[in-house]
Structures are given as C-alpha cells and as structure tokens.
Structure 1
C-alpha cells in the first residue's frame, strides 16, 4: 500500500517537462558544437585558399562549391544596371552592398562593388559610377562568394527590369528575374582599391568558433543544473 501511495504522488507531468527541456538543451549544445566545427573547417579552407594562385573564371565555374573563398579573375564589361542590397551595416552605420552585372564569355557574373553608406531618405539609393571600359574589356579580381538565402527575409521588389533595383537580400534567382537572364551561381567580391569610395572589407563569418563553444558550454551547464535541481527536489519529496 505504501508503494502504491508513493507512485500515486510521483510528479509525472513535471518529469516529462524537465526531461523534454533537458533534451532540447542537449540538442542545442551539440548543435553549437557542430557549428563550431563547421566554422573551424571554413577557416582552414580560407587559409588554404589564400595559398593558391588566382583562378580563372572557367576554373571556378567547373566546381563552384569547392572554390568558395578563393581569389579569381574575370574579363568582361559592365552594363549600367545596378542592384542595391539594403540593410547592410558597416561600423554601425546602415548602408548598401552595390552589385553590378558583368558580361563575360562564360555568362553574366554578379560583381559586388562594395559597401556604401546610406545618407539619404529611406529607399533612396546613392549614385554610383561604374568603371568606364572605353571600348576595351575590363579585368577584375576578387573573392568567390556563394550567397545563402535568408529564410526570414522575403523579397518584395517585383518591379522586374526597373533599375537601379533595391533588394532586401542577395538572391541570385531574384536578380536573374530582374535581368531576364541566368547569372552565374556565385558573386565576385572585388578586392580593396584606393580609387573607389566603396568599402571592401568582406566579413567572412558573423560569429567565430570560440563563441559557438561558449554557447555549447552554457547549454550543457543549464542541462546539468536543471537535472541536479530536479533530482534534489525528488529526494526532498521522498524524504
């Protein structure tokens, strides 16, 4: 009878809630460790890329995913078309990334010209002067960047073909629709150049691996603390 009475008062609902929380915290901890590992691999990949010679455009196209962060060169010509990617911060100031289509023998390559501060009203885009070809082809050098779409940002600019175009994110599929032509599946981030006012300080990752490790330790610590408190409360309950 004493055993039945003890089982009757066992906190089943609380136990389910606690263990569900523990599973979630452990999952988040291991996820942060996974992100740390991914960032470490990315850093190693970047260091490897720095040791390599500048790649040609067809070489990059042959295996784009492998050449992320590598330096490459391309020859072609600009059009007067410009895309402004909104809500980009630099030094705490709001601004835009300025992208321009670059016509090459291998397709249209989107070139990130750099960052410029937004000093005007909301939606007002600063004027940018593209390099003049003067009848000759232009040779560009930059870093290969494969953009990833942000699921939390929804593009609203449906005025296809109207330029300059203001976009909420760097979405190559959307850019293709605006240009009414396919573009190559990566962006060339131009190298720094003193002859332009555009800022070219490319941030590879928003969070360093050490930060992910710190978050993982926090989640594991919370899981241990939660389990300890729960076991102590059970012991007091049964005493």
Structure 2
C-alpha cells in the first residue's frame, strides 16, 4: 500500500504541473492572438495605402476616412491652437510632435488635426524651444490618415490639455496624449474624425510654391512582426507539452508502485 505522504506529494506535483501547463497554454494562445492582431493591422495598412488619394473636405463621408489612406486637405493653419505632444523620440533623441488644426477652406470652424512633424527638445529646460514654423495663407497639406493620434502610456502626473485654448499662460501647451474630443472641447472647433499625418512640405494653394521651413517627418510604423509572436507561442506550447508529459510520467510511476504493492 502506498504511503499517505507519497500520495500527497504525487497529487501536489500533478497539481503544480497542471497549473504550469494551463498557464503556458494560455500564454501561447495570447501570443497567437497578438500575431493575429498584427496580421490584421498589416492588412489594414496595405488596404489603406493602396486606396486612391482622398481630398478631405467638410463634406467627405465618414466611410471614406479610412486609416492609412493617402490624403490631402486645403485650408489655413490655426497657429495659436498648436499643441506639442511630448515624449516622441526620433532616433534616440527626445522631442515633440507638433499638432496644429488646419481650418478647412470655406468653413469658419471645421478643421482637421494635422501632425505636422517632429521638433527636437532642448538639452536643458533653460534653453529656448526651437521655433515652430508658422506659414500663413491658404495651403495644401498632403499626408496619410490615422484613426487617432498614437497614444503612449500615461501616468496620473502626465501633462494634460488646458481646459480652454488658446491659453495665454501656455502659448505652446505640452501634453502626453491628445484625443480629438478633448481638443475639440478646448478649442471650440469641429474636427473631422480623423488625423492627418503630414508627409510632404505644404504647398501654397494659389501659386504652387512650397510654404518654406518645415519639420522632420518620419512617422513610426506599428510593430508588424507576427512571426516573433508565433515563435513565442511555439515556445509556450513546448513548455506546456513538457509539463503534460511530466504529469503522465508521474501518473505512470504511481500506477506502477500501486501495482507492485498489490503483488505483495
């Protein structure tokens, strides 16, 4: 007859190995889900970028405003409502994304939010911020549509958008993230429900000349390496298999011991 403490140890080992196998299978499935998400994002990007260019106007149907689609818009900058989006590094250098509303031609208060480019952060707080280009006149902006301003993880202490813009105390407000709904509430503007990431220099609408000084525009791409997630999933499923095999070995040995005890 098997000793009680041996039975308890066997059951405990089986329980622990079962938990390990379950956790590993869950992590493997999670990695497969991440891979499927990245594949879906890649398909969405390919579909958007292969779509014909869109000229955004206040009358543009919402179903035409698909992410990653090449697009253009015509209007004037509302420079006093420019916002700097913090912690947007470029090649290891800290900086900001410059976001400015473009008031669309023919409307007094309908705008599209444009991510204009990257601005390097000064080395110290005592140094002045590099000047933000402020071209005047009616411009044509070309770029790529985004569903929203890409977000970063935000702490409770992160900088927030002022309640009203423009803010005399903060000529260039700095925020961690920028939501269109918050920006519309602060500015009183009606925003097209899309963001335009500028990819080329602005062009003067009436003479075709480039507007002048520009910002650096190299927008980060989403991580699309689904094969890495599949590799991680294979590793987790391998660990689960080892745990399951160990369970079977323990059960087999326990049955052998029980069979031997009955022969005596």
TM-score by shorter chain over 0.5: yes
Shift of 1:232: 4.4
Alignment of 1:1-239 (within 5 A): 2=1, 5=4, 8-58=7-57, 61-63=61-63, 67-80=66-79, 81-104=81-104, 105=107, 107-122=110-125, 125-133=129-137, 137-147=138-148, 149-150=151-152, 152-154=154-156, 155-157=158-160, 159-160=162-163, 161=165, 162=167, 163-193=171-201, 196-232=213-249
In terms of mean alpha carbon deviation, does 227-236 or 137-146 score higher? Answer: 227-236
SS at match of 1:90: coil
Q: 1:227 to 1:12 in 2, by over 3 A?
A: same
Distance 2:129 2:250 in 1: 61
Shift of 1:159: 3.2
Distance 2:186 2:125 in 1: 22
Shift of 1:158: 5.1
Shift of 1:16: 3.5
Question: Deviations for 1:207-228, whole angstroms, at most 9, x for unmatched residues?
Answer: 4222222222222223223334
Runs of 5+ consecutive residues of structure 2 not aligned to the other structure: 202-209, 258-264
Is the 1:192–1:201 Cα contact (8 Å) retained in structure 2? no
SS at match of 1:67: coil
Question: Deviations for 1:149-190, whole angstroms, at most 9, x for unmatched residues?
Answer: 556544432533323110112322332343244433321001
Q: 1:114 to 1:158 in 2, by over 3 A?
A: closer
Q: 1:13 to 1:116 in 2, by over 3 A?
A: farther
Distance 1:30 1:207 in 2: 18
In terms of mean alpha carbon deviation, does 122-131 or 42-51 score higher? Answer: 122-131
Shift of 1:87: 0.8
Question: Deviations for 1:81-140, whole angstroms, at most 9, x for unmatched residues?
Answer: 21111111211111111100111248221100011221243597432012221xxx2221
Is the 2:42–2:224 Cα contact (8 Å) retained in structure 1? no
In terms of mean alpha carbon deviation, does 52-61 or 78-87 score higher? Answer: 52-61
Is the 1:75–1:138 Cα contact (8 Å) retained in structure 2? yes
Q: 1:192 to 1:153 in 2, by over 3 A?
A: farther
Shift of 1:144: 0.6
Runs of 5+ consecutive residues of structure 1 not aligned to the other structure: none
In terms of mean alpha carbon deviation, does 148-157 or 197-206 score higher? Answer: 148-157
Question: Deviations for 1:53-92, whole angstroms, at most 9, x for unmatched residues?
Answer: 211325765126x611001111121111211111112111
Query: For the aligned residues, what is the CA RMSD?
Result: 3.2
SS at match of 2:89: strand
Q: 1:49 to 1:14 in 2, by over 3 A?
A: same
The size of the alignment, in residue pairs, is 234
